[in-house]
A and B are shown apart, each in its own frame.
Chain A
Amino acid sequence: MHEWSLAEAVIEALTQVMEQEGARRASEVEIIYGEMMELELDILKFALEELSKGTPLEGSKFTFNEERASFRCNSCGHRWDFRQVHELLPEDLWVSEPDGGRESPIHFIPDLAQALMVCPNCGSRDFEVESGKGLRINKVILEV
């Protein structure tokens, strides 16, 4: 549901780059986002299109790539992925959305995984998030 605020963030960042580079338009934009953000791509895409209307970004082609999340325990060396622990996230701390849905806080702030997960093998909280969080603009093709 916060796809709209993320779309705003992307548009603001792109607008800034285009101004810096003196670009007329951006023909192609590639966005990489972490699996832990559990984004609804349809909404993100729609929001990007809506927010680009009437700006130099109108008509840009947006492509998306999801980066799978992976974790490694510093205590026992075990590795795991997001799906294996998704069911174990503490439900009492979920965030409610207007459509009646509920999301883990990790969906809004992926780095909170560090507080809401433990190693499924040994229970340690001392683990590394190797990949799968955040959102970045990986590539943009500008037309000057």
Chain B
Amino acid sequence: MSDPILGKARSKLRKMGRITLVASGKGGVGKSLVASSLALTSASRGYRTGLLDLDVHGPSVPRIFGFNGELLAGKGGLIPPVINGLKLMSAGFMVGRNPLLIRGESKFSLLSFLLAITDWGDLDHLVIDMPPGTGDETIFSLRVLRGVREAGAVIVTTPSSLSQSVVMRLISLLRGEGMRIYGLVENMAYINCCGELLRPFGSIDDDFLRDCGLRILASLPIEPSIEERIREGRFLELPEEFRSRMDELLDGIMGVR
């Protein structure tokens, strides 16, 4: 007998206009920040957008958006809090600062429930902040998303940490599980110094792009002010240049047929 919760999770996902998984080969490359900025940009452009935090061990969405209020539930399940028109959901809203020791099938069950009982309503775009790496959580997330045709992934990396083998492993995992990849996001790529672009960490090389058959959808500037804005609860005002790059990324994703 099929699992009704998993079934419900999948049928909800199939109703989304587009699903963007934001993934990374390892932690610390700014994946959650890219996912949050992309979702915020998408909502501000008029797409009905949700942001789902599937990184259950290190949920970042509550901190980035500074939400620590109480969750509400209605007849259709958990009601995502709305910030600047963006609907948010994260297990972090429900566990607070408690560590989540969870393994194996329990993790899978948690992700299924989180997807199945969140009342998103109709969405044009669901952005998913994926767990980093190629561990259990990523595999379980992909299992839930298997066969959902509206879904595709962007892979966040940095020029410095383009430990290419790590990114390649993620690419083969995603492709092996039937997930299409929209392209790469190069984070912390450059500093705009009075119109001159400095690339302190170098660039992603063309050979690598050819090998993996992907293109760079957006190169993001190094913006130390973003961390500061998060600490001060001002994340919603994205710096101008960062915001323009996010617009390009969104166009790149929405333009995929």
Write the residues of chain A forming the contact surface with B, with a CB cutoff of 8 angstroms.
Answer: 1-2, 4-6, 8-10, 12-13, 16-17, 90, 92-98, 103, 105, 108-112, 114-116, 125-126, 129, 133-138, 140
CB distance from A55 to the nearest CB of B (A): 15
Given A1-B73, A4-B75, A114-B100, A109 and B110 contact (CB-CB distance below 8 Å): yes
Q: Is the CB of A90 within 8 A of B96?
A: yes
B119 at the binding interface (Cβ < 8 Å): yes
Interface size of B by Cβ–Cβ distance < 8 Å?
Answer: 35
B75 proximity list for chain A (CB < 8 A): 1-2, 4-5, 98
Q: Is the CB of A12 within 8 A of B109?
A: no
Q: Is the CB of A136 within 8 A of B96?
A: no
B51 at the binding interface (Cβ < 8 Å): no
B256 at the binding interface (Cβ < 8 Å): no
The answer for the CA separation of A4 and B78 in the assembled complex, in Å, is 12
The answer for the CA separation of A2 and B116 in the assembled complex, in Å, is 11
Q: List 15 A-B contacts (CB under 8 A).
A: A5-B75, A5-B117, A9-B4, A12-B8, A90-B96, A93-B96, A98-B72, A105-B95, A108-B73, A108-B94, A109-B91, A109-B110, A112-B94, A137-B1, A138-B1
Contact of A133 among B7, B11, B78, B109 (CB under 8 A): B109
CB distance from B213 to the nearest CB of A (A): 36
Contact of B1 among A12, A17, A110 (CB under 8 A): A17
CB distance from A19 to the nearest CB of B (A): 12
Q: Is the CB of A9 within 8 A of B91?
A: no
